[in-house]
Structure 1
C-alpha cells in the first residue's frame, strides 16, 4: 500500500488498521491518502482506475462521533422509498478514518470484481459498519436510541458480491477479532452523552 498521512494522527497506527482490515483483499496496488477536509466533518473518494482512495477528516470533530449510516433496509411507501438513518458511534478519529476507508475500499472492490459501480452507497456503508460493530464494539442505534438487530442491517453477502476481487486461497480467511489486535487498538472509554451529527459521505 502506498500510504500517506497529512494529519496529526499516528501514521503507523492508521496504516496498520487499513492493511489489517483490507484482508483478504490485495492492498499492494492501493494508494491511500489521509488528510484534513476543508469544510466537511468527513468525506472520502475512490478513483477506480488508479486504485486511489482519499480519506478526509474534519479538524474540529468531537469524539465520540455519530455517523448517520445508510445500512437500513429501504422501504416502499407507494410513490417513494424511505430508509431510516441508523446511527453508528465511533470512539475516535482512527475509527472514523477506518469507516471511511472501508466504505471507499468497497467501491474499489466492486469495480475490481467487475460489478456495476452505480448505487452501491448502502452496501459500502454495511461493509464499513460490519467491521466497526464486530471488531470495535461500536454501537449501531435506531431513531429511538435502541440497538439495531443484526438482521435489520447485515442481510447481504458482501464478500460474496466482490469475491472475484480476492485471491482464491484467501477468500475464506476471516479478519482478526478486536481481542487479537493488541494494545495499540485497545478500547477507549466512551463518553456518556453523545450528540448526533447528521453527515453523509461525498463521492
Structure 2
C-alpha cells in the first residue's frame, strides 16, 4: 500500500513469545509488542502488522511521492503490562517479523458491484503508482494503487479507464478498465478487470461517470 508520509511506528513487534526462538511469525504465533503505559493498548484490540519496503532511508520526503508499505497480516492483543503486550497472529499474508509496526485494523468491505461503464472524464487524470511488493507491470486480475482517494471523491466500486500517454501529441491509448476495491485518503487500490495490453506504473487512470 502507498503512504504519503512516513508512518509513526509507535507500537513495534519486538520478537516472538515461543520456546524455539523463531522470528518469522504466522497464524497462531504469539508476538511481543513494546508499549508504554499511556498508549491506550488494551486486550482485544486488533492491529495490522506493516513494514516499510526499502526502509525509512528510501522513503520519499513529504510531497515528493508515495512510499511502499507492506501489510503482512493482522493480530489481536491478548495480554498487557506496563512495558510489553502479547498479541496472537490471526492472519498472515506474509511472514510477520520483529520490527514490523502496528496500526489499528480496519475491516475492508469489498464492492459487490462496479459502477456503470460511463464516459471517461479526461480532465480528472490519476496516475498508476505500484502494486504489491513494488510491482510495476500488471495484467488481468492484478491489483495496484492509484494516486487518488476519498479526498478526491473516489469510492469503492468506482470504475477507471486505463490509458497510456506517450507524451508525443498522439491521443491516449486505451489499455483496459479497473475497479476500486479499497479507497484511502489519498490513494486507492484497484483491480484490473479488462486488460487489452500490459498496464504499467505511470499509466493514466481516468474516472468513468454516467452523463
Highest CA radius of gyration, 1 or 2?
2
Point out which structure has higher relative CO (alpha carbons under 8 A, 6+ apart).
1
**TM norm structure 1:** 0.26
More strand by share: 2
**TM norm structure 2:** 0.25
